[in-house]
């Protein structure tokens, strides 16, 4: 399925998305304003936040990053998105989010806090992939670390080719 650049731009405008530091586009759609804040070792956080997250042909990679909170991803529409997860012990897990559940694509993906995560439109994708994320305790940029190529390559030398591809520097 091909999507024109103008249609993708219309989607970005319609959903009021902005560029994300990790790649792709996002907008916070919810934060639990009406409940008590959650105390974490890093300060007070909303009990939950949620975002739209979009990868496009112009920004097809969500670069390796680590969040302290648990995140549940929900696939919506577009091309399948491949997630690469590196666990603290070096285990690599690859998961594809998409609508073809018969082909083992998943509609939901849970990524525990403390796991290095990157996402990318699958090879051959020609448009976009749209998901949502629910984060608990709520997302705060202070709880996110962007992956640095040298650090991740030293920590996980067995994944150096993947790290090279899915880090910004």
Largest distance between two CA atoms of the chain: 45
Helices (H), 56-145: none
**Cβ atoms of 31 and 140 closer than 8 Å:** no
Q: Is the pTM of this model over 0.85?
A: yes
Q: Using alpha carbons only, what angle is made at residue 82 by residues 148 and 158, rounded to the nearest 5 degrees?
A: 45
Strands 43-45 and 128-136: unpaired
Domains of the chain: 5-165 (2.60.120.10)
Chunked mean pLDDT (size 10), the chain, 169 residues: 73 96 96 88 92 96 97 96 98 97 97 98 84 96 96 98 95
**Cβ atoms of 97 and 75 closer than 8 Å:** yes
Question: How many helical (H) and strand (E) elements, i.e. helices and strands, does the chain have?
Answer: 3, 13
């Amino acid at each position: 399925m091909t999507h024109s650049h103008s249609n993708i731009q219309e989607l970005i405008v319609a959903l009021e998305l902005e560029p994300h530091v990790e790649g792709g586009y996002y907008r916070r759609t919810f934060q639990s304003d009406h409940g008590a804040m959650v105390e974490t070792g890093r300060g007070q956080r909303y009990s939950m936040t949620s975002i739209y997250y979009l990868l496009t042909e112009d920004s097809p990679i969500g670069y390796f990053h680590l969040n302290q909170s648990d995140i549940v991803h929900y696939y919506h529409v577009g091309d399948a998105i491949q997630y690469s997860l590196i666990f603290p012990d070096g285990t690599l897990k690859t998961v594809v989010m998409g609508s073809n559940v018969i082909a083992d694509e998943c509609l939901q993906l849970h990524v525990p806090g403390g796991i290095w995560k990157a996402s990318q439109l699958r090879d051959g994708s020609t448009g976009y992939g749209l998901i949502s994320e629910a984060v608990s305790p709520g997302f705060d940029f202070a709880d996110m670390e962007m992956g640095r190529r040298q650090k991740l390559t030293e920590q996980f030398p067995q994944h150096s080719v993947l790290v090279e591809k899915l880090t910004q520097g």
